Structure formats: C-alpha cells, structure tokens
Structure 1
Amino acid sequence: MIDFSLSEEQKAIRSWVRTFVQRELMPLENDVLRREREGHPPGLTHEERNRLRALARESGFWGVATPEEFGGMGLDAVTEALIETELGRTFLTFKFGGEADNILYHANEWQRRSYLVPTIEGERSSCFAITEPGAGSDAKAIRTRAVRDGDTWVLNGEKTFITGGMEADFALVFAVTDPERGADGGVTCFLVDRDMGWTSEPIDTMGERRPASLVFQDVRVPHENVLGEEGRGFELAMQWIGRGRYLLPARALGGCERLLDMGLEHARTRETFGAPLADRQAIQWMIADSQTEIEALRLLVLHAAWRVASGRDSRHAQAIAKLFGGVKANEIVDRVMQIHGGMGYTRELPVERFYRDLRLLRIFEGTDEIQRRTIARDLIRGHVKVGATLV
C-alpha cells in the first residue's frame, strides 16, 4: 500500500517554513525589486540574509540536513524537499544557515576543526569548484593541474560558473594529479583558502545568481589540505553533484505554486470585454495544464527524495525530476506572464523576475540534454527497467 501522507513533524516543519517565507521574506520582495531597478546588486543584502538566518536560528531552525552531532536538525531528504518547496515560493534566494557541503564530512579531524565546523557555524564559506571553461557538464574533462612539490601541491588552472565564488573564503577544488589515470584515480580534491592566492571575477547573468570565474596560478596548497584520498576526487565530486539535484526542481515547484496563485488572482479580477479573464477558455486551459504539471512535478520530486532518504540509487529519479521540473517550470511561468499581459512583462511584478531565474534550472547542475542522456542511457544499458522505478 502506498501512503502519501506526511508525518506530523513534516507538516509542522512545512507550516513553519511557509509562515517564515510569508512573514519575513515576501515583504522584502518589493524593496529588492526596487533596488534592482535602481542598479543595486540583485537579491538580499548580506545584512538581510544574516538577520533572517539569526531569526530562524532563534526558533531552532538551523542546519536542516546537518547531523545532530554537529548541532543540526538532521532532517531526511523528503523533509528537505518540503522545505525547498516552501522557500521556492519567493524569488529571493535564501537558505537557512548551519549547512556545509556534504563532501566536507569526509574531512579528517584537523580539517573538520579548520573547515567543516566553522562553515556550519557561518564563520567560513565555501564554493564547489569543478566546472571549467572547456569542461561544463563533462566533469571528466577538467584540465586544472596539481603537481606535487614536497609537502605542497602547486595548482594551475581556471574554474568557471562557480556558485558562491565571490563570497567564499575557501574552495573545494578538483584538479588532475595523475594525467595517466584521468578521472578514475587521477583527480584529487583540495581545500584551498583564498589567501593561498587564487582570485575570482564575477560573471554577470540575466538572473539573480552571480557565479564567478576562479583563477589558480601557481597556488601552493599544503598536502594536509587534500580532502579524502589522493586520486579519489572524482568520486567526491559525484557525491556532491548527486546528493541534492532533486532539491532544484523542489524549489521550482514552490515557485510554480506561487505563480499559479498569482495567475488565478489576476484572472479572477482582470476584466476584458465585460467579463473576467477567468471566464475565457484559453485562460482556463493554461490554469488546468499548469495545475496538472505542478502535481506531476510534486510526485516526481518526492519520489526522488524518498529514494535518497531510503538509501536507494536515486540518480535516475533525480534526473527525471530535474528534467521535468526545468521544462515545466519554464512553461508555467511563461503562461502566467501571458495571463498578466503587459503587466507581467514589467519589472514591477515578481513574474518577470521568476521568468529570468527559472530559466537557469534548465542549464545549471546538468542541462536538460545531460538529464535526457542519463535517463536514456540508464534504460538502454539496462540499469533501470521500464516500470520498475519503485523497486
């Protein structure tokens, strides 16, 4: 028997996050849009983000996925998906504090004291640096080199489109340490402090996210800063990439719910030729299609999260959720903009902002084409059987 009900704890957490978003985040949207129109940096300010995280921490909301032994909540993947959905109801990019990259838990005792714990406490910030100008979705094609020189490694190379690269004070850098072995045994992950010499430049985009280009020129990194085992970096990279891909469509799901609510409200109140837009069959079909796709996306996201939480191989399910979520979120925001007409196209309403931000979902952390490749390859090679995804 399949049970789609949530636990009482999950219901309470979802309710708390929804209230937090409605009371604390949504009221800031107009100020953020105004600042952006005036040419200020997009999104929340550093001060606003820290204030919101502190407010949440006062209520015990800290380290959503962080193990309890490190002061976190230790919540399961399904509950994480519920939280991301609620956070997605606003276009403001916000995450609760107390988190660290999942692969940082592979750190040794010294590295935990120097990197992991300070990151959880918000005293340090990291970025995941694997993507390169010539190696986007093909992580095996990285060219950044690390050459051993006594007790240090010398790094040379460039990383691009690195989320958080402008703010991070250390980076998780993946570099080739054994060219003969390639990705399978020849890539190592390094913890590289900014003051070791790497530099970053912002990359301007059409949305809020401002990734960075990172340059490493003869950057010396102590051997003790190798994360995990030498030569096993690609495995760590795949753990990082595969851990939370389902959270991207989960956040998009929340955005789609908010957008459909906005479309419904406008359709009910806007009159044309003596009748509300909601009476027009063309508008009704947009609403019906959007609701159907939202419910389908919800099940895909929760199924992928359930596979993560239960320890099952989730890669196929996550690829399906991300592909469907990216495509349908862009279709839904396009419909809602169409329902709003000219006002939806202006920068006075959040619709235009959602429109730009949701477009990224079809590109980053694996393009639509990469997801399709993964899904098809799994089926063709027999890794996944048609109709057997619930096993």
Structure 2
Amino acid sequence: MRDTIRSFVDRELKPLEEGVLRNERSGLAPLEPGILRDLQEKARAAGFWGITLPEEYGGIALGAVMHSIVEMELGRTFVPFRFGGEADNILFACTGQQRDSYLLPTIAGERRACFALTEPGAGSDARNIRATARRDGGDWVINGEKTFITGGSEADFCILFARTGEGITAFLVDREMGWKSSPIPLMGQRLCASLSFEDVRVPGSNVLGEVGGGLDLALSWIGQKRYVIPSMAIGAAERLLGMAIDYARVRQSMGHPIAHYQAIQWQIADSEVEIESAKWLTLHAAWRVERGMDARHAISIAKLHGSVMANQVVDRVMQIHGAMGYTKELPVERWYRDLRVMRIYEGTDEIQRRTIARNLIKGHAKLGSIGE
C-alpha cells in the first residue's frame, strides 16, 4: 500500500509542483478544477477512494496505522490533493434526511463542508465560544463569528458550533441560509476564511447529534485529526531531507562537496534521528487508536514532537541550501511557510505540553507504560 501510494505521488503529483508554485506567484488557485478532477479519477481507478470510509458506505476502511502511513506519503508533496470518498468523522452523526442531504453528497464529492469552531476569542479553549443559537419556534437563530476556518470560502455548508441554553450544540448550516465568508490571507498554502452569522435561521432538523452535545462531537473530530498532522509532517520532512542530501553531494565549497563537512553531516544526522523518532511516536498513537485504546496522551506527544520536528528539519534544509533555499526557484521556502502552521492549528505546542503535563501529574498517563 505504501509503495503504491508513493508511486502515485511520484508519478501524478510531484510533476505538478512547478505549476503549483507558478500559480502561487500569479495569485491563482494551486490546481485548476479540471486537473483536480482528473487526479481524483486516477486515484479512484487505482483503488484509493474512501480510504477511511466505512465499508457500508463503499469505502475500504483502512485502520489508523495504515491511514497514518498514507498521510506520510501524501505529505511528501505540497500539491494540495486528497483522495476522494471522505467526510469529516463528525458527519457520521447525521441521521435520516441529514444523511441524504449532507453525509452522502459529501462522500460523493458533490458538496463541500467546513468545520466552524474557532472564534476570534476562542481557539484551543473551545468551551468559551460565544456564537449563540436561540430557539424561535421550530427553528434556531444563529449569531456570531468564526475565524481561521479551513475551506470556509469554498464550502457550501458548515458544521457550526454555537452556545445554546443546554450547552454547545452543533448545527448543519447551508450557505444559502445566510452566512457569509471572507478569505484570510496566510503565509502558507492553507485556505482559511472568517465566517459571519447574523440572524441566520436554521431549522430544528439541522441540529447534528443532541442539543448540548456539540462539544463531544467537536473533540472527537479534533482528536482524529491530531495524528494526521504529524503523519503529514513526517512525509514532508523525509522529502526535504532527501533534497538536502542530494544538494550536499553536488554543492562544492572550498574544493569539496559540502557533504564532506561535519557541520553539514550533523544537521543531516540530527534530522534523520528526529524524523524516525516522530515516525514511531505517530505510529504508536495510531496503533492505540486502531485498537480502541485511549490514545489522547500518545496523540498529544506525537502532534507536539512531529510539528516541532518538521520545523527544525526544514530550517536545517534551508540552511544547507544556503541562498538557493531562500529563493522561490526551489520549494524549500514554500515548505518553510507551510509547515509553520503545524505548531499552531489543531492544538498549539503550548496546549499539547499542558495536556501532556496534566496527564502525568493527575495520573491519567503512567510513566514507562507499554501497550496499556
């Protein structure tokens, strides 16, 4: 599976990288819609459709370990491509008509969703969101603002979290119901937006899950995403380190390839050690998820170490490339910008450290435990 996906990345995605960089310099979308559709069809023909989708929906339901390995391989390129046949795990809480209107069209690629939790005053502290939803007959009326919402400008419906009298509740809100989005310029390739809700009326049938049960749904989504992030970081770091090794072999300085110098060798060695340690921490976290064990502590460790590792590696790779690494002729500077956000989104470094420390201090996690 790993080798087949790596071949797909090498054959279909890497040749598009120069075009992605060129489009970025011209202010265009990374990939044209036609190219993206062709890639999706090729991936589906190769059997890469619904890789984590339950079999009852036509997916192949890979476990968390294989999912992590898939994300490592996709992380080896910055071309923004995802295999089709997927839906946010939170959408599987859909019932009845919700399933037909939201879940199934999302799986089929006919609709696009975004996850609207973060607010200007509430990021990692999700319990402090201020968007509100009040009952009005059989409807809910929503007011508030969300920010840094991935895919917010492209989505035709959002999974919105708002405060109700019973607690935080999740809603499925179509764009036609009245919410607006504004793109947020970022230093990397991620496409984020702010969303505004002003007296947006949502029918009661669009509550996702139970009224007041939205926070548990949100945390289940965030927990699943956190082992994916270090997986992608590992793929990017391996690709970058390979570029640095290749460059060090041919770049001459003072009559020798710079690969002969200890200063370069140590940067390469440190990067390899950090990549391998992040890989096994991440696979361990995914293994716990797959076995149905409590994986929260392991995921926090993997997310923290993987995110920091990727930023350390890309910084060394740029240093090894010198001035060339700083130019837009090479993709190193692109990765330098893209990887930085991994230390911020889906739980900052500081939040992960707090979580890890609290787990140990309160006895939720035990030192020296293996497979417990």
Q: Which amino acid aligns with 2:135?
A: R
Out of 73, 89, 110, the residue aligned to residue 97 of structure 2 is 110
For residues 355-366 of structure 1, the aligned pairs below 5 Å read: 355-366=336-347
Counterpart position of 2:78: 91
Q: Does residue 1:347 correspond to 2:335, yes or no?
A: no
- Contact 2:88/2:221, CA 8 A, preserved across alignment: yes
SS in 1 for 2:144: strand
Counterpart position of 2:241: 260
Counterpart position of 1:305: 286
Residues in 2 aligned to 1:364 and 1:46: alpha-carbon distance in whole angstroms: 27
Residues in 2 aligned to 1:127 and 1:252: alpha-carbon distance in whole angstroms: 22
- Contact 2:225/2:346, CA 8 A, preserved across alignment: no
SS in 2 for 1:244: helix
Which runs of no fewer than 5 residues in structure 2 stay unpaired? Answer: none
Q: Which amino acid aligns with 1:144?
A: A
Cα displacement (A) at 1:47: 2.6
Counterpart position of 1:318: 299
Which runs of no fewer than 5 residues in structure 1 stay unpaired? Answer: 1-12, 179-184
C-alpha distance after superposition, 1:230-266 (max 9, x if no partner): 1111111111111121110100100000001000000
272-281 or 50-59: which moved more?
Answer: 50-59
Residues in 1 aligned to 2:101 and 2:116: alpha-carbon distance in whole angstroms: 19
Residues in 2 aligned to 1:34 and 1:96: alpha-carbon distance in whole angstroms: 23
Counterpart position of 1:18: 6
C-alpha distance after superposition, 1:29-53 (max 9, x if no partner): 0111122223324x22333222211
Residues in 1 aligned to 2:181 and 2:234: alpha-carbon distance in whole angstroms: 32
Residues in 1 aligned to 2:342 and 2:155: alpha-carbon distance in whole angstroms: 23
C-alpha distance after superposition, 1:55-80 (max 9, x if no partner): 11122210110001101111100000
Out of 206, 226, 239, the residue aligned to residue 187 of structure 2 is 206
Q: Which amino acid aligns with 2:126?
A: A
Counterpart position of 1:39: 27
Out of 157, 164, 177, the residue aligned to residue 170 of structure 1 is 157
Out of 79, 88, 100, the residue aligned to residue 101 of structure 1 is 88
Cα displacement (A) at 1:354: 0.6
Residues in 2 aligned to 1:153 and 1:39: alpha-carbon distance in whole angstroms: 39
For residues 194-273 of structure 1, the aligned pairs below 5 Å read: 194-273=175-254
Out of 29, 39, 47, the residue aligned to residue 17 of structure 2 is 29
Q: Does residue 1:51 correspond to 2:32, yes or no?
A: no
Residues in 1 aligned to 2:54 and 2:319: alpha-carbon distance in whole angstroms: 44
How many residues align? The count is 372
Q: Which amino acid aligns with 2:325?
A: G
Percent sequence identity over matched residues?
61
Residues in 2 aligned to 1:196 and 1:263: alpha-carbon distance in whole angstroms: 50
CA RMSD of aligned residues (A): 0.9
- Contact 2:182/2:193, CA 8 A, preserved across alignment: yes
Residues in 1 aligned to 2:201 and 2:225: alpha-carbon distance in whole angstroms: 31
C-alpha distance after superposition, 1:287-317 (max 9, x if no partner): 1000101110110110000010000011111
Residues in 2 aligned to 1:52 and 1:106: alpha-carbon distance in whole angstroms: 29
C-alpha distance after superposition, 1:255-286 (max 9, x if no partner): 00000100000000111111001100000000
Out of 54, 57, 73, the residue aligned to residue 67 of structure 1 is 54
Counterpart position of 1:126: 113
156-165 or 88-97: which moved more?
Answer: 88-97
Residues in 1 aligned to 2:81 and 2:193: alpha-carbon distance in whole angstroms: 19
Cα displacement (A) at 1:173: 0.3
Cα displacement (A) at 1:386: 0.9
Counterpart position of 2:263: 282
Counterpart position of 2:310: 329
Counterpart position of 1:77: 64
C-alpha distance after superposition, 1:311-362 (max 9, x if no partner): 0011111110110011111010000000001000001111111100000100
Cα displacement (A) at 1:389: 4.8
Cα displacement (A) at 1:381: 0.7
TM-score, scaled to structure 1: 0.94
Residues in 2 aligned to 1:57 and 1:241: alpha-carbon distance in whole angstroms: 27
Q: Which amino acid aligns with 1:71?
A: G
Counterpart position of 2:353: 372
SS in 2 for 1:261: helix
